[in-house]
Structure 1
Amino acid sequence: MTPAELADAVLTAAHAVFADRGLDRAALPERTAVERPRNPEHGDYASTLALQLSKKVGLPPRELAVALAEQLGRAPGVKSVEIAGPGFLNIRLDAAAAGQLARSIVEAGPAYGRSDALTGQRINLEFVSANPTGPVHIGGVRWAALGDALGRLLRATGADVGTEYYVNDAGSQIDRFARSLLAASKGEPAPEDGYAGAYIAEIATEVRNRRPDVTTLDDAAAEEVFRVEGVALMIDEIKSSLRDFGVEFDVYFSEKSLHDRGELDHAVARLREQGNIYEADGAIWLRTSGFGDDKDRVLRKSNGEWTYFAADCAYYLDKRERGFDRVVMMLGADHHGYIGRMKAMSACFGDDPAVNLEILIGQMVNLIRDGVPVRMSKRAGTVVTLEDLVDAIGIDASRYALARYSSDSPIDIDVELWTRATRDNPVYYVQYVAARTASVGRNAAEVGLTRGDADAFRPELLADEKENALLKALAEFPAVVASAAELREPHRVARYLEGLAGAYHRFYDNCRILPRGDEEITDLHRARLWLNDATRTVIANGLRLLGVSAPERM
């Protein structure tokens, strides 16, 4: 019995109690949930439904709990229901009902853990969005891992998700980039405010290969060629790097396209309709101070130039007009002060910032080698890049390490730890279970052990304490996925997988799966093989949500 099936049984019992007592069934929720009690001695699962409903129907919670317990105790698979405190229901399943979960997981396969918790939500998820003036640095890589994992989680819980990379291909940073490429092509040092590093010379050379005529142009014309071609090359490199890292975006959105299509004027017109635009000192202002910002914001300067914030307004409106109900932005720690103005801007459009806009802030990442932070890339010259991280510890370890911690926590990635083939390396610890469960499957086939027909599966044989603990851990997975998506916290999946790995290791060490020597194959061996394969399914499903492989051999 899965937690969802048990929750349905609790609700069914509630309907029966309400019908028997003539209570208003309109007070019953459409769905309920059961939870694992903190103390295993209190039972397999707990329900607070009696506490939730007592005031609505005018009954003491304990009285309602007694009625629910009596009714629920008759449900198939429920061994006992005890009442604790003011009305908690502590539920114990019989061994057969608990063990049946193994078959349910294997039969569900990749679908186990998925739900419709967020069905109906259209979410635009923007992450990374590093300027196309250099390789993706390690801070951006954190967002690549977290953002991609979050997108997978949101989709796994039913949301309609569009992932997006905002390409800042307009503005002064692109001007500096173009001037840097031009200088490199001439063999001159980078401008004082420009970009340095071996990659600048590489791109300048590639532009010259594409456009040999660039050397015959005056500086202004040559700079424009380097701007257009250099940005295109840099974006292609960023896309390739992210693709190699396992991150694919639905849309790469050009900031320049907003200007070219007149979207900034369109945004100002919409804001003006809302009564939140005014003009002063020859500039166009947005009245964000009326919506919690510390001051009003300039959209267009007195010299006619648009501000970055104006493009942000136009981009937000574009997303909303594409039909996204919720805009989620993942930004670096240096953008923390940006939250207030963005929330105010959302309100200026007539939206509810608490519903339509969500901003997640990520803290810094350090790559540690020999106890010392790695400060510079050989190629970029100023920062540690995606390629540097992958070269140091690999793709799987990089993605797992970056997704393992809450985004609001600074992290140090120790090269020695994350390349170690030992249990203290978290990704190795989890992937080892994936490989071990696959190995058990291969060894079982060699001795003629198969799970057998599903109808012949005897789940009641999985009665050992370690088997029960593993089954309970497996049962938690759907709730972990749902909460990780709802709270935007992929690290919950990683930490869950580590706990599951521990439960499997304890099961494996104490419960013999394969027959020894000439030992006869029994139903217990087959039942344990179901449990082994269920564990591999959940480990693989969890790692897939993090964009990490589940190897069959290590």
Structure 2
Amino acid sequence: MTPADLSLTVLHAVRRAVDDGALRVDVPPVVKVERARPGGVGEYASNIALTLARPAGRTALDVAGILRERLRDAPGLRGVEITGPGFLNFTLRREAGAELVRAIREAGSAYGSSTALAGTAPVRFAGPGDLARPGGLGEQSDVGEPSDLSGPGAPAGTARTARTARTARTLRPADLTESRALIVTATVVRLLRGQGADAGFGGDERVHVRPGEYRPEVLGVDAARWALLRPAPQDRPLDGAPLLVQHERNPLFRVRYAHSRVRRLLANAARLGFGPAYETPVDAPELLGLLGDHPRVLLAAARHRAPDRVARHLEATADALLAFQHTVLPLGDEKPSAAHRSRLALAEAAGTVLAGGLSVLGISAPDRI
């Protein structure tokens, strides 16, 4: 069970409680589920009972008890506990790891996409004269269709066609490669598309970012994009020089290196005569949790127009994978076993998530570094 599945399961419990007459509230469109905080109970938690308590005219503990009764036998849940003033805490069944790995393998790089934001208003570009203005974007520019930005082989922030802008000047392709605003907007369009939104141009929304220059000719495409996308929109772009250093202090290097390590693990396992197959539970709660959170992170990044959330999540996933990788292959005279095949399957799933996340940001995921 992924966090998205758990969110739906809790939402269905709320709906059943309303249908049964146990709760008199409007069913919310979504239930927020988060990783349990350190010292908490279980693996995930939700404050849905506290949210519904006032409109239901009940205490949060009463609402939590009503929902727990409807969650006891939910597939994928091993336990549901109530803590504090009415938080619901969830412990997943051990086979949840197999379900998660299977879901990632089946979806591939599309893992995490959904239709949650279908119908969201389009995002728009600014006129090039407004791009240097701190903190925001100005009037919309008519720069072509969304496919001009994110078609196969097109760099993020670069349009293959450009028409006359409302600023009474013609945009050249070069104008569309030098602004952080355009890089962020292009990435947001890809995020929204992954979430099922009808993302395009011509709407009223503007993505507000601090200005920054896109310098692929100096840093290379990958480092240039990371420098603009990794900071939060209101923060300054990163200094590009440290992003070119192949060292663990460089987060971009760690993310791409973690993906390349997965490719080497798969190749080395093949030479040893085995491949990935999740056959037995793997004790890697941090990595499993991060992979399960990937759909939620993509949705939040699209909803809040914040690609930096994806970058931070990729860093955490890469760090967890690099700490886990040493357990994957047999050591010494050890023979490959179901445990090794399962760990390899989990590592492969992590590599898929890293590659998919980097792709959203318009950054490559090399097989070898």
Q: Are the structure 2 counterparts of residues 90 and 26 from structure 1 closer, same or farther at C-alpha, using a change threshold of 3 Å?
A: closer
Residues 1:449 and 2:307 are matched in the alignment: no
Alpha-carbon shift at residue 430 of structure 1 (Å): 0.7
Alpha-carbon shift at residue 16 of structure 1 (Å): 4.2
Match of 1:227 in 2: none
TM-score, normalised to structure 2, is 0.81
Q: Are the structure 2 counterparts of residues 135 and 65 from structure 1 closer, same or farther at C-alpha, using a change threshold of 3 Å?
A: closer
Per-residue CA distance 1:111-169 (angstroms, 9 max, x = gap): 21111121023414225746658884799332332122111111111111225xxxxxx
CA contact (8 A) 1:23 1:57 kept: no
Per-residue CA distance 1:396-451 (angstroms, 9 max, x = gap): 11111111112222235242x12111112221111001111111111111111112
Match of 1:154 in 2: 192
Q: Are the structure 2 counterparts of residues 361 and 16 from structure 1 closer, same or farther at C-alpha, using a change threshold of 3 Å?
A: closer
Question: Aligned letter for 1:150?
Answer: V
CA contact (8 A) 1:127 1:147 kept: no
Q: Are the structure 2 counterparts of residues 104 and 53 from structure 1 closer, same or farther at C-alpha, using a change threshold of 3 Å?
A: same
Higher strand share: 1
Separation (CA, whole Å) in 1 of partners of 2:234 and 2:57: 44
Q: After superposition, where does 1:210-359 map in structure 2 within 5 Å?
A: 319=202, 327=203, 357-359=204-206
Residues 1:55 and 2:54 are matched in the alignment: yes
Q: Are the structure 2 counterparts of residues 134 and 440 from structure 1 closer, same or farther at C-alpha, using a change threshold of 3 Å?
A: same
**Length, aligned pairs only:** 330
Alpha-carbon shift at residue 45 of structure 1 (Å): 0.7
Separation (CA, whole Å) in 2 of partners of 1:136 and 1:30: 43
TM-score, normalised to structure 1, is 0.55
Question: Aligned letter for 1:392?
Answer: V
Alpha-carbon shift at residue 68 of structure 1 (Å): 1.9
Give the counterpart of 2:216 among 390, 393, 398: 390
Match of 1:94 in 2: 93
Separation (CA, whole Å) in 2 of partners of 1:425 and 1:100: 33
Residues 1:440 and 2:287 are matched in the alignment: no
Question: Aligned letter for 2:354?
Answer: I
Per-residue CA distance 1:445-478 (angstroms, 9 max, x = gap): 11111124xxxx335x21x2xx111000111111
Match of 1:193 in 2: none
Alpha-carbon shift at residue 44 of structure 1 (Å): 0.9
Residues 1:498 and 2:345 are matched in the alignment: no
Separation (CA, whole Å) in 2 of partners of 1:434 and 1:76: 32
CA contact (8 A) 1:125 1:161 kept: no
Match of 2:147 in 1: none
Question: Aligned letter for 2:10?
Answer: V
Separation (CA, whole Å) in 2 of partners of 1:152 and 1:409: 21
Per-residue CA distance 1:182-216 (angstroms, 9 max, x = gap): xxxxxxxxxxxxxxxxxxxxxxxxxxxxxxxxxxx
Alpha-carbon shift at residue 544 of structure 1 (Å): 0.7
Match of 2:115 in 1: 116
Residues 1:405 and 2:231 are matched in the alignment: yes
Question: Aligned letter for 1:433?
Answer: A
Which has the higher mean CA deviation after the structures are superposed, 28-37 or 122-131? Answer: 122-131
Match of 2:290 in 1: 473
Question: Aligned letter for 2:232?
Answer: S
Per-residue CA distance 1:229-282 (angstroms, 9 max, x = gap): xxxxxxxxxxxxxxxxxxxxxxxxxxxxxxxxxxxxxxxxxxxxxxxxxxxxxx
Q: Are the structure 2 counterparts of residues 134 and 16 from structure 1 closer, same or farther at C-alpha, using a change threshold of 3 Å?
A: closer
Percent identical across equivalent pairs? Answer: 37
Per-residue CA distance 1:455-505 (angstroms, 9 max, x = gap): xx335x21x2xx111000111111111111111111111111111111111
Question: Aligned letter for 2:210?
Answer: Q
Q: Are the structure 2 counterparts of residues 128 and 518 from structure 1 closer, same or farther at C-alpha, using a change threshold of 3 Å?
A: farther
RMSD: 2.5
Question: Aligned letter for 1:361?
Answer: H
Match of 2:183 in 1: 145
Higher helix share: 1
SS for the counterpart of 1:27 is coil
Q: After superposition, where does 1:416-431 map in structure 2 within 5 Å?
A: 417-431=242-256
Query: Which has more radius of gyration?
Result: 1
Q: Are the structure 2 counterparts of residues 549 and 139 from structure 1 closer, same or farther at C-alpha, using a change threshold of 3 Å?
A: closer
CA contact (8 A) 2:181 2:208 kept: no
Separation (CA, whole Å) in 2 of partners of 1:156 and 1:93: 27
Separation (CA, whole Å) in 2 of partners of 1:504 and 1:156: 24
Match of 2:5 in 1: 5
Match of 1:362 in 2: 209
Match of 2:142 in 1: none
